[in-house]
Structure 1
């Protein structure tokens, strides 16, 4: 259990590390200087992180690892808040690993908050990962949404697209995100209630149009993205909606 004093100290030193960061370049930024108080704090927390990673490696069940990651994450929250408050380019394995964990245990809002910081400051993924931060976020969250439509909110998928739109990644990874967004728009079209007070202009047809665009973008990026049936279904829905308007 981290005391309130230690939480404050961790956050303060993380802010200090950011205030002494070098100007941002296209390369990944350096970690906090080892001979500084912030660097020493970072080294201690990084050692704790690696202990946690070894503990997780001993758990065979992915499902059982998820609550442990959520529990471990509490240790690093004050440091991460300080890093974000400093808003400076400092390579931080603690922050990026907690982003990965948050996706695993389902706190996608937190994962996206950390991911936004990591992308804006060009942080690198831990060395065992081959994907960039942007690619990891786009592909992992898209796959979660495609497996379970209730696991990722529509606005979260939109945030992922906005966050990773300019990032370089394999076409197949981005196609998964467009596919997930297309299916989310399609569900909104199918569930549209024209009598609702907040019903937008254009209604179900506008939602279906967005879905169609997402599916076509996925198909253009990856012929094997598995959206051809989705396109047929959404075209059928658009025709039905058009016929309803004409009648």
Structure 2
């Protein structure tokens, strides 16, 4: 991510100016920020891009799908590495993309990631997100986690 620092001041300038014209380079910076772990910075660009109706320069995914999938994947990778992930970043992503069109599987990935991140700190909310994921994509791979959380919540209520 050697390129990211070279574009930081420029990206901040575009965002501060509120530029509405499509900027492909800024869209790449959004992806680079996710890759570099600057999730809040990526969300800032994503919020700006969605506000102005920008599109991804290459590929077949729209901005909201890219944000949902990439943030979900980053969270899952962090959890696999036992590194933890800020649930608020995922909840911001969900809030930002809730009313926007994307494949159900992509939205399910985001709910699955939120459920995984919240499973220790807020099991009831985690279960809610896993249920949403399952409704959106029955093959999203949350059934085992869902059963474990249900069992845990039942045991906690005794």
TM-score, length basis structure 1: 0.60
Query: 1:175 — aligned with what?
Result: 108
The answer for unaligned runs of 5 or more in structure 1 is: 1-68, 189-206
In structure 2, C-alpha distance between the alignment counterparts of 1:101 and 1:88, rounded to whole Å: 20
In structure 1, C-alpha distance between the alignment counterparts of 2:84 and 2:25, rounded to whole Å: 25
In structure 1, C-alpha distance between the alignment counterparts of 2:114 and 2:8, rounded to whole Å: 30
Q: What is the CA-CA distance between 1:152 and the residue it aligns to?
A: 2.9
What is the total number of aligned residue pairs between the two structures?
Answer: 155
Q: What is the CA-CA distance between 1:143 and the residue it aligns to?
A: 1.4
Q: Does 1:96 align with 2:27?
A: yes
1:16-67, CA deviations, whole angstroms, 9 ceiling, x for partnerless residues?
A: xxxxxxxxxxxxxxxxxxxxxxxxxxxxxxxxxxxxxxxxxxxxxxxxxxxx
Residues 125 and 133 of structure 1 are in contact (CA less than 8 Å); yes or no, is this contact kept in structure 2? yes
Q: Does 1:217 align with 2:132?
A: yes
Alignment counterpart, residue 184 of structure 1, candidates 103, 117, 121: 117
Alignment counterpart, residue 236 of structure 1, candidates 141, 151, 154: 151
In structure 2, C-alpha distance between the alignment counterparts of 1:163 and 1:225, rounded to whole Å: 22
Structure 1 stretches (4+) deviating beyond 4 angstroms?
A: none
Q: Does 1:79 align with 2:10?
A: yes
The answer for unaligned runs of 5 or more in structure 2 is: none
Q: What is the CA-CA distance between 1:151 and the residue it aligns to?
A: 5.4
In structure 1, C-alpha distance between the alignment counterparts of 2:39 and 2:105, rounded to whole Å: 22
Q: What is the CA-CA distance between 1:102 and the residue it aligns to?
A: 0.8
Give RMSD over aligned pairs. 1.3
